[in-house]
């Protein structure tokens, strides 16, 4: 019976759906996290009778007979909705309002991208992530600095002891992509460029098509707990319905096998 294999694909699809939802819920408090959504597609159809097949000299089948083979996961998309800003009062924390990613230099020398602006300074005064990866372009805070300001357009200025005039020590830049959903999630709030995302376009914050920066804030996750719990319940019910199909098909086969 086809129903056994069809229902099994439905159970596998809903298992994937629950996996995606559980990852969203687990990252409710992850800085800069963007929730994901699973999308599904129906599988190939067995064409028992094609639509439009002649049924007589002057008649055609209006719909034909097409039996589906079930469902598959078509993709898991990342929803690029702005997360709420959370004030931290840490002068090195920076949140992006709008489009864009910070550029991070990995130990391998490759460039990664992130929305997580929880920055700090290394023992050399270099602006780095929580894992110690340098922020591009390299910005070094002088040891004598008594205050640091980061403007909405990314200009980093410091006040040095004994000098009331601010000094510019660097300029933060943002990267954008033609297809943000095509970025490869690496973990640690980092993404990598892929052929699907397109090449990064780098410019200063505040330029057309780019967001602006907010010093002393971080961007929270865009996960909506109520929506995720609702989706989880829906996925659970769908899984139960598919398991019921398996049970019904098994009972029908048992009835058939008992025929004398």
Q: How far is CA 151 from CA 85, 128, 161, 229, in A?
A: 16, 18, 20, 38
Task: Give the list of residues 6+ apart from residue 189 with CB closer than 8 angstroms, or none.
Answer: 30, 31, 32, 33, 114, 115, 116
What is the tens place of the pLDDT at every residue in 7-32? 999 999 999 999 999 999 999 999 99
The length of the chain in residues reads 260
> Residue ranges per domain, the chain?
2-80+225-257, 85-219
Both structure tokens of 181? 């959903």
Give the Å distances, CA to CA, from 196 to 103, 158, 164, 242: 18, 39, 48, 34
Confidence of residue 149 (pLDDT cuts 50, 70, 90): very high
Among all chains, which residue has been given the structure tokens 């004398």? Answer: 260
Residue 48 CA: distances (Å) to CA of 18, 63, 72: 34, 11, 22
Mean pLDDT to the nearest integer, 144-150 = 88
Among all chains, which residue has been given the structure tokens 């954008």?
176
pLDDT tens across 197-253, in order?
999 999 999 999 899 999 999 999 999 999 999 999 999 999 999 999 989 888 888
């Amino acid at each position: 019976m086809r129903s056994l294999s069809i229902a099994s694909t439905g159970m596998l699809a809903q298992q994937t759906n629950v996996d995606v939802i559980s990852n969203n819920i687990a990252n409710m408090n992850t800085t800069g996290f963007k929730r994901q959504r699973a999308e599904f597609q129906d599988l190939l159809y067995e064409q028992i009778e094609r639509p439009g097949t002649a049924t007589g000299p002057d008649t055609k089948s209006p719909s034909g007979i097409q039996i589906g083979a079930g469902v598959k996961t078509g993709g898991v998309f990342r929803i690029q909705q702005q997360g709420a800003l959370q004030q931290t009062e840490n002068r090195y924390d920076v949140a992006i309002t709008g489009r864009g990613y910070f550029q991070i230099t990995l130990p391998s020398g490759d460039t990664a991208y992130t929305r997580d602006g929880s920055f700090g300074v290394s023992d050399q005064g270099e602006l780095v992530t929580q894992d110690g990866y340098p922020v591009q372009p390299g910005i070094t805070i002088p040891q004598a600095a008594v205050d640091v300001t980061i403007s909405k357009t990314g200009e980093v200025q410091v006040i040095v002891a004994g000098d009331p005039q601010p000094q510019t020590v660097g300029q933060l830049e943002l990267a954008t992509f033609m297809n943000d959903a095509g970025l490869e999630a690496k973990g640690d709030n980092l993404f990598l460029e892929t052929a699907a995302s397109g090449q990064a376009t780098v410019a200063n914050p505040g330029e057309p098509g780019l967001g602006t920066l907010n010093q002393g804030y971080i961007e929270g996750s865009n996960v909506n707990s109520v929506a995720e719990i609702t989706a989880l319940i829906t996925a659970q019910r769908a899984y139960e319905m598919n398991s019921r199909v398996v049970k019904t098909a098994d009972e029908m086969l048992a009835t058939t096998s008992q025929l004398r």
